[in-house]
Structure 1
Amino acid sequence: MVDWDKIGNQVTQEHGNDMPAALRLRHMLVAAINSGGLAPGTRLTETGLVAELNISRTPLREALAALKAENLLHVDADGLRVRKLNWSDIKSLYELRAHLEGLAARLTAIHASRPEKDLIAQIASTEISLINSDASPSVLAAHNAKFHLVIWNAASNPFLLETMQRLSRLMVLLGATAYSLPERRASIQSEHAAITAAIISGDGDAAQEATQEHLRQALKARLAVLSTSQNLEID
């Protein structure tokens, strides 16, 4: 059961309250998927969502159409469902991320300004403090997203940024974060440190390789998490 009041408050905190109803509903549905409230494979109906959210059908239809266009929802013989990724889907997603994020790190190492590089170093340093203070997986995952987003922006390629943001939206379908694995926390910290050092030094080749290795290890950890859940199909 989704706690829509809690989800609504979260959306307000993250995005504000001044937005069209359809956009707010889109944010709420994504947050519900990300939290596991709407798990992969969950069937959605307009009637059910209208009743649960106490909303009209028009903005809901707009929100659902947007999520279908982003491949977060799909239609099968039984109706509309939250998309469920299989083993090959996840491998393909991470393979593409490794190539594109490696390119972003390379461009950032070569072209980013000193303030941008300092910000990346600051975020990496804060991550160490969060891990040492035993921050929750959700807090660490949010901080991890910030680390990667700054690198994408610092690459100064709007088309690459748009593509990475689109890919990142699919990540909500993967459920539990790899930060739920205690042994993975230290590894991520070390991998981020290698990426940061290469970017700071302006070594594009090293930044690209460190990022691609980070994504290879992230895939292994993600499959380890998902292989024990009911959300993974092995084809």
Structure 2
Amino acid sequence: MIKLFIEKKEPYYIQFYRMIRQMIFDGKFQPGEHINETQLAKEYNVSKSPIREAVRILEKEGLLVADKSKMLVYKPTITDVEEIYYCRMALESFAVNLTTKLATDDELSKIEATLAETEAAISKKMEANSIIFLNEQFHQLILTFTKNNRLQKQVYDLKGLINYYRILNFQGNERAVEILEQHRRIFYYMKERDETNASAEMVNHLERDLKHLLQIMMDSTRNL
């Protein structure tokens, strides 16, 4: 079990939310596994209230699923992956279109700096989580610079599962380099202020992600 160092300055339920979420992402809680609130409360010597609140947030994000009286870790299906990625294609292609048109040069420079940080992280062979975070930041900055709160909320509602798939999608040799090159192609058109091609490259990038994820899932099923 991960050691959780309780900090009084932050609500307990937020700390437990982050801990359980990370354990799901790290595979320490497996898909379909039962999350036992009583056991967690006993393990960390707290009441069940903060655990229950953390679980509620994770259920809302889709990372936990209610099954009768139990709460189980989300188990991805091909239909789920396809539906979420089709939503991403629609929302994020529009986001990159808006940001290409509306972002200031300084904002575009921040996106470019993230790509440079990603390249450096790959060159230094940094841990996967650091590179995944930078990949997430690339998409997040594009969304932020749309300055469209409603669009941001639509993507945020999918964020838990997007991050879950992003980690799963990172599997494979040279995967970090492949994703970086795709991000660079998107940014090339953004810097040219070519919103049509920037949007097309975002869709292409997400289509490749989807294909890769489906292959991982099919391979996993065959190996069972």
Q: Provide the TM-score with structure 1 as the length reference.
A: 0.86
User: Partners in 2 of 1:44 and 1:104 — Cα distance?
Assistant: 36
Q: 1:119 aligns with which of 110, 115, 121?
A: 110
Q: 2:187 aligns with which of 196, 203, 209?
A: 196
Is 1:105–1:211's contact at 8 Å kept on the other side of the alignment? yes
Letter in 2 for 1:92: E
> Is 1:153 the equivalent of 2:144?
yes
Is 1:36–1:175's contact at 8 Å kept on the other side of the alignment? no
Is 2:169–2:213's contact at 8 Å kept on the other side of the alignment? yes
Correspondence for 2:16: 25
User: Partners in 2 of 1:48 and 1:175 — Cα distance?
Assistant: 29
Correspondence for 2:197: 206
> Is 1:108 the equivalent of 2:99?
yes
Is 1:25–1:63's contact at 8 Å kept on the other side of the alignment? yes
Correspondence for 1:99: 90
Pairwise mapping of residues 60-71 of structure 1 onto structure 2 (< 5 A)? 60-71=51-62
Q: Provide the TM-score with structure 2 as the length reference.
A: 0.90
User: Partners in 1 of 2:217 and 2:127 — Cα distance?
Assistant: 19
Residues 58-96 of structure 1: CA deviation (Å, up to 9, x unaligned):
122222222222222122146211111211101111111
Pairwise mapping of residues 132-147 of structure 1 onto structure 2 (< 5 A)? 132-147=123-138
State the 1:182 CA deviation.
1.8
Q: CA RMSD in A?
A: 2.3
State the 1:28 CA deviation.
1.5
**Which fold has the larger relative contact order, with Cα–Cα distance below 8 Å and residues 6 or more apart in sequence?**
1
Residues 112-161 of structure 1: CA deviation (Å, up to 9, x unaligned):
11111011111112222222333332221111011111111011111111
Is 1:50–1:57's contact at 8 Å kept on the other side of the alignment? yes
State the 1:107 CA deviation.
0.5
Is 2:98–2:146's contact at 8 Å kept on the other side of the alignment? yes
Residues 200-222 of structure 1: CA deviation (Å, up to 9, x unaligned):
11111111111110000111122
Correspondence for 2:38: 47
Is 1:84–1:173's contact at 8 Å kept on the other side of the alignment? no
State the 1:178 CA deviation.
2.9
Is 1:101–1:152's contact at 8 Å kept on the other side of the alignment? yes
Partner SS, residue 219 of structure 2: coil
User: Partners in 2 of 1:187 and 1:17 — Cα distance?
Assistant: 42
Is 2:62–2:160's contact at 8 Å kept on the other side of the alignment? no
User: Partners in 1 of 2:9 and 2:54 — Cα distance?
Assistant: 16
User: Partners in 2 of 1:177 and 1:137 — Cα distance?
Assistant: 11
Partner SS, residue 180 of structure 1: coil
Alignment: residue pair count: 223
Residues 153-209 of structure 1: CA deviation (Å, up to 9, x unaligned):
011111111221221211344484433312333321221111111111111111111
**Structure 1 unaligned spans of 5+:** none
Partner SS, residue 32 of structure 2: coil
User: Partners in 1 of 2:26 and 2:166 — Cα distance?
Assistant: 7
More moved, 69-78 vs 104-113: 69-78
Is 1:107–1:155's contact at 8 Å kept on the other side of the alignment? yes
